[in-house]
Chains A and B, each alone.
Chain A
Amino acid sequence: MQCDRVAEQLPQIVDGPERAAPQVLAHVESCLRCQAELVQYRRLLRALRHLRTDVLEPAPGTLAAILANIEHAGERGAMHSLLTGRRAAYLGGIAVATAAAGAAGAMVLANRGRRKMRLAG
């Protein structure tokens, strides 16, 4: 097996040999170049995991800024809800008024129709 083909799989194999095909593992066991690369991947992962314990402190005043942002976002949300509510109420009012006008018109027409029938009768 060629080193180049095995090298493509080393970033995955470093998570555990069970992820590799037997022939790939056999190659690594017999190839110093691939072993050396695997060692480098292990060192890389160790170094990355070590960074987990390296924690930075944000600048002073960050908490206040975050809370102000949240308050601002909350106000925007409340304003949006208010406007949405008003818009809904406005549209609802128009719909009710339109329906009422339609119903009234229908009643007028119906009454006229009845009167004409009576006069004709």
Chain B
Amino acid sequence: MAQELGELVEAAKAGDQRAFEELVLATQADTYTLAYRLTGNEEDAQDVMQEAYVRAYKGLKRYRGDAKFNTWMYRITANCALTHLKKRSRDRHELLENDAMLVDERAEHDPVASLGGADDRRMLHAALQSLSPEMRAVVVLRDIYDLPHEAIAAELGISEGAAKVRLHRARRKLRERLFPLRAESHGVEAARAV
């Protein structure tokens, strides 16, 4: 798969339009899923994905192949998502740090509800959406997509140290939301379960 993508990238860089279409086809589900996780709703995810592929197309010649194409797309998508959310926030006169709920409540559009253990995953999705866009971006890119701190910091325009601090804050908020009061009442049981 990675090799195929590499070949498609080279062909697309050489001007093969069909190869770029194949690249989009091969990566669009992954890109869309990330966009959805970062924005929290289908409409914004579609907009972000469109913008991400336009940017990828324009910047393809600058892609050196030192990261996987998927990873490169994740970085572009994260950047587009934050720009999109900031613009939307300005348009709606919202504050970015207000932890506003951006959850799409429709179950059929909930990515975490589509597998088994739907309740837990729905709670996790809701908890992710309760974070500010900046916090959410860091925890999604690091803990779900396993991007290095350095890459995350570069995309968000912050230092690596700041990215780590943001990640730890985001984890703490998620834990507090997902395990309210359990630490007090079920501490012993949880510790035994390790």
A11 to B175, CA, bound (A): 9
Q: Which residues of A contact B53 (CB under 8 A)?
A: 66, 69-70
The total of chain A residues at the interface (CB under 8 A) is: 35
Q: Which residues of B contact A35 (CB under 8 A)?
A: 187, 190-191, 194
- Whether B50 and A65, one on each chain, are in contact in the complex, defined by CB atoms closer than 8 angstroms, is yes
For residue A52, CB closer than 8 A to chain B, the reply is yes
CB distance from B126 to the nearest CB of A (A): 13
- Which of B83-91, B94-102, B109-117, B152-160 has 4 or more CB atoms under 8 Å from chain A? B109-117
Q: Is the interface of A mostly helix, strand, loop or mixed?
A: helix
Q: A63-B28, A73-B57 are in contact. Are A51 and B50 (CB under 8 A)?
A: no
- Whether A45 and B46, one on each chain, are in contact in the complex, defined by CB atoms closer than 8 angstroms, is no
* CB interface residues, A 9-33, toward B, < 8 Å: 11-12, 14, 32-33
CB distance from B37 to the nearest CB of A (A): 7
For residue B63, CB closer than 8 A to chain A, the reply is no
Q: Which residues of B contact A57 (CB under 8 A)?
A: 29, 32
For residue A103, CB closer than 8 A to chain B, the reply is no
- Whether B33 and A56, one on each chain, are in contact in the complex, defined by CB atoms closer than 8 angstroms, is yes
- Whether A39 and B168, one on each chain, are in contact in the complex, defined by CB atoms closer than 8 angstroms, is no
Q: Mark A35-74, 1 if CB is under 8 A from B, else 0.
A: 1110111101101110110111111001101110110011
Q: A32-B191, A33-B183, A35-B187 are in contact. Are A62 and B49 (CB under 8 A)?
A: yes
- Whether B29 and A55, one on each chain, are in contact in the complex, defined by CB atoms closer than 8 angstroms, is yes
- Whether B190 and A40, one on each chain, are in contact in the complex, defined by CB atoms closer than 8 angstroms, is yes
Supply 15 A–B pairs (Cβ within 8 Å), ascending by A. A11-B169, A14-B171, A36-B183, A36-B186, A36-B188, A39-B191, A40-B190, A44-B174, A45-B143, A45-B171, A54-B114, A56-B111, A58-B45, A62-B49, A66-B49
**Chain A interfacial positions (CB closer than 8 Å to B):** 11-12, 14, 32-33, 35-37, 39-42, 44-45, 47-49, 51-52, 54-59, 62-63, 65-67, 69-70, 73-74, 77
